[in-house]
Amino acid sequence: MQKIKRFLLTKSIGMYLNILSYTRPKQASLLAYRLFSEPRDGRLHKDRLPDILKETQTETFRYGGHEMQSYTWKGNDHVILLVHGWESNAARWEKMLPHLKKTGSTIIAIDAPAHGLSSGKEFTVPKYAEFIDAAIQKFKPDALIGHSIGGAACVYHQYQYPENGVRKMVLLGAPSDLQTLIDNFGNLLSLNAKMVQLLENHFIERFAIKTAEFSARIFGSQLHLKGMVAHDIDDEVVAFDEGKKIANSWKQATFIETKGLGHSMHDDVLYGKVVDFLFAD
């Protein structure tokens, strides 16, 4: 019953946007962008933090008018920065943490804009990349690990800020193309071609880049640090081919294909390979 209600609500919203695209196109593009960029899950409350985050050294610092939340598991001078994905938060790393802690490294996780305890209502890859850069300047990590769109934000960050001291980067279930995300969004809501074009135009006006050109496949071709890209063939959230696109363009990256892990990519064997990669010469 819940699935039916969700389906009917989704299609009703899409129908409303389609009508609005003809009567009030500016309002339609703003509403569609809001639905596309505002997460509806992933928030945390300070007085009800997950246990895995209660054991950390927490810090809130300001960047660009936003409050950004970080969590630190203190270790040695080798620093690993963790970057979660859409409608998630720093607690998503709970199953990977035991593997990283065994290395003795200092592990730092951040909450994305509009997620966890970080401020804001809007999430975009460019804004997330700015958050990542602020964290890198503050914590000086040796390595980045990004999941889902957090991985895409890591790629965009490294493309935008190449001289930052990060030596290795791991991407888990990361999408490549913004155009694919928009197309999926349009299909979910059954948006007409006019409405999709209005949304794409909004991105051009907002970020001065065509959606077809906003691609981790394109950005990855400019990366020079060592990388590891892992993607599951059963991922129903981000298509397997998205990971392949990034790996094929990133000359210094190796690709790992998994099966049966889905989008979460939680797996002891995979996490062991991540650790091996991070500490190999």
Are 171 and 229 within one domain? yes
Are 157 and 190 within one domain? no
Q: Which domain holds residue 87?
A: 51-177+215-281
Are 117 and 197 within one domain? no
pLDDT of amino acid 174? 97
Q: E strands of 153-281, at which residues?
A: 168-172, 226-232, 253-258
Q: Is residue 280 a part of any domain in this protein?
A: yes
46: exposed, middle or buried (C-beta count within 10 Å: 0-12, 13-18, 19+)?
Answer: exposed
pLDDT of amino acid 1? 63
Q: Is residue 142 a part of any domain in this protein?
A: yes
Are 239 and 197 within one domain? no
Q: Is residue 43 a part of any domain in this protein?
A: no
At which residue do the structure tokens 């155009």 appear?
Answer: 179
Are 93 and 152 within one domain? yes
Structure tokens at 236: 């129903």
Q: Is residue 46 a part of any domain in this protein?
A: no
Structurally, how many domains does the chain consist of? Answer: 2
Q: Is residue 132 a part of any domain in this protein?
A: yes
Are 172 and 183 within one domain? no
Q: Is residue 242 a part of any domain in this protein?
A: yes
Number of helices (H), then strands (E), in the chain:
11, 8
pLDDT block averages, 10 residues each, the chain of length 281? 75 94 96 95 94 96 90 98 98 98 98 96 94 96 98 96 92 96 94 96 90 92 96 96 96 97 97 97 77
Are 57 and 185 within one domain? no
To 10 degrees, what angle do helices 25-37 and 178-189 make? 110
Q: E strands of the chain, at which residues?
A: 57-63, 66-73, 79-83, 106-110, 143-147, 168-172, 226-232, 253-258
Q: Is residue 123 a part of any domain in this protein?
A: yes
Q: How far, in Å, CA of 55 to CA of 49, rounded?
A: 10
Are 188 and 229 within one domain? no
CATH at 83 = 3.40.50.1820
Are 153 and 64 within one domain? yes
Confidence (pTM): 0.94
Q: How far, in Å, CA of 266 to CA of 18, rounded?
A: 39
Cα pseudo-dihedral 150, 93, 133, 117, rounded to 10: 100
